[in-house]
């Protein structure tokens, strides 16, 4: 799925790049977008990439520490290394199976910290809800500081096809009916063996979800949440300097790129493959960056952070967590 989306984005940019080459009098033999991307990445300023990766690691550290604030009200204080490892394993897993990483994350922390997986998953859902709230805040900031560019893009591209909404709306209606039937007969269902297990799972999930209500350090939780997204913004802005074509972009461009790039990551594609490249290219085009240059920048970020960063941290966690926890138990 991700490879297909990436190919379609590449094909679109290749066509545009060939038109750009024709305008400059460059022959088609010397007009390969893949060659350009390779040369751009090869000639990138790695100092800024290393700084960007540093903030990426810091964002994961903050996410692990913030997560601990949610599990403490439930009576579980996680070791930092286990929480951090579970977070990195989740991102690593999402590269292959979108959205499955959060389930794996709950399973990992349940294994090493003896936290019921349903409670752990409930706290993770709560985290994601908070992230959606902050994403909405980032969207508003993008509209405030780059209103004309963002609003023009949204109005030009946010086309609603009501026919395409029939199927998902039908599924939603069926789901609501099923939930109503389950609610009405839940007392009887709960007395069965399977119903009892489902009931325990749901209660644990709800307890995890409501952990935020019992937070003692709410100010610290909010600070960590904002700091995570501040890291994402800094990563984006700092990495602009890695390529000549994006080195002079203003902070507003980083904010718009963070907004649209996050949309690309939200779409269920492995690690945002293809969708991220498309949205980042679109964001940078608003600031006069050529599609080919935007494609190079998007792939530079994707390769060094989403691929190299997530794979190295995730694999390290897979290998080290069993060893670390074996030593601590002996």
In this predicted structure, what is the pLDDT of residue 206?
A: 65
DSSP 4-50: HHHHHHHHHHHHHHHHHHHHHT--GGG--HHHHHHHHHHTS-HHHHH
pLDDT at 325 over 60: yes
Count the domains in the chain: 1
CA distance 146 to 140: 10
For residue 327, give the nearest of 79, 125, 5, 116 by alpha carbon.
79
pLDDT value, residue 105: 92
Predicted pLDDT of residue 57:
94
Mean pLDDT is lowest, of 30-44, 124-138, 311-325, for 30-44
- Check residue 324 and give left, alpha or beta (phi > 0: left; psi -120 to 50: alpha): alpha
Task: Report d(CA 144, CA 109) in Å as an integer.
Answer: 40
Say yes or no to pLDDT of 172 above 80. Answer: no
Tens digit of each residue's pLDDT (9 = 90 or more) over 268-324: 666 667 788 888 888 888 888 888 888 888 888 888 888 888 889 999 999 999 998
Per-residue pLDDT reduced to its tens digit, 57-86: 999 999 999 999 988 888 888 999 999 999
pLDDT at 123: 86
DSSP state, residue 211: G
- Is the pLDDT assigned to residue 1 strictly greater than 60? no
Q: What confidence score (pLDDT) does residue 320 get?
A: 92
159: pLDDT confidence band, cut at 50, 70 and 90?
A: very low
Which residue is listed with tokens 């000639």? 43
In whole angstroms, give the CA distance from residue 179 to residue 108: 30
Please name the residues in contact with 70: beta carbons below 8 A apart, sequence gap of 6 or more.
Answer: 123, 126, 127, 208, 211, 212, 215, 221
**268 touches 9 (CB < 8 A):** no
Alpha-helical regions (H) of the chain: 2-24, 33-42, 46-71, 80-94, 101-113, 117-145, 147-157, 166-184, 186-189, 193-209, 218-240, 251-266, 275-285, 291-301, 310-329
6-10, 12-16, 37-41, 200-204 — most confident range: 37-41
Residue 165 is predicted with a pLDDT of 45
Give the model's confidence band at 249: pLDDT under 50 very low, under 70 low, under 90 confident, else very high.
very high
- On the question of pLDDT at 160 being above 50, the answer is no
Domain containing residue 290: 2-329
| pTM, entire model | 0.80
Please enumerate in sequence order all residues whose Cβ is within 8 A of that of 195, keeping only pairs 6 or more positions apart, or say none.
189
């Amino acid at each position: 799925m991700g490879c297909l989306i990436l190919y379609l984005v590449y094909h679109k940019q290749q066509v545009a790049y060939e038109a750009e080459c024709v305008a400059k009098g460059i022959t088609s033999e010397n007009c390969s977008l893949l060659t350009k991307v390779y040369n751009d990445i090869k000639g990138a300023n790695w100092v800024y990439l290393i700084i960007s990766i540093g903030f990426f690691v810091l964002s994961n550290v903050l996410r692990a520490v913030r997560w601990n604030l949610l599990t403490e009200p439930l009576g579980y204080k996680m070791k930092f290394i286990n929480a951090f490892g579970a977070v990195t394993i989740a991102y690593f897993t999402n590269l292959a199976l979108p959205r499955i990483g959060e389930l794996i994350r709950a399973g990992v922390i349940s294994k090493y910290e003896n936290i019921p997986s349903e409670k752990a998953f409930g706290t993770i859902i709560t985290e994601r809800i908070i992230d959606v709230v902050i994403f909405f805040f980032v969207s508003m900031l993008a509209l405030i500081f780059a209103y004309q560019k963002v609003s023009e893009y949204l109005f030009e591209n946010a086309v609603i096809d009501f026919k395409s909404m029939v199927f998902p709306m039908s599924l939603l209606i069926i789901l609501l009916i099923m939930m109503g039937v389950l609610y009405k007969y839940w007392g009887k269902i709960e007395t069965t063996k399977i119903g009892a297990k489902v009931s325990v799972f749901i209660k644990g999930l709800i307890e995890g979800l409501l952990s935020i209500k019992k937070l003692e350090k709410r100010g610290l939780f909010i600070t960590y949440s904002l700091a995570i997204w501040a890291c994402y913004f800094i990563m984006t802005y700092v990495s602009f300097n890695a390529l000549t074509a994006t080195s002079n972009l203003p902070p507003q461009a980083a904010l718009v790129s963070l907004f649209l790039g996050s949309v690309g990551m939200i779409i269920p594609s492995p690690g945002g493959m293809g969708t991220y490249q498309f949205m980042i290219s679109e964001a940078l085009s608003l600031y006069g960056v050529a599609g080919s240059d935007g494609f190079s920048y998007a792939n530079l970020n994707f390769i060094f952070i989403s691929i190299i960063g997530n794979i190295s941290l995730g694999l390290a966690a897979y290998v080290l967590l069993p060893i670390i926890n074996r030593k601590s138990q002996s």
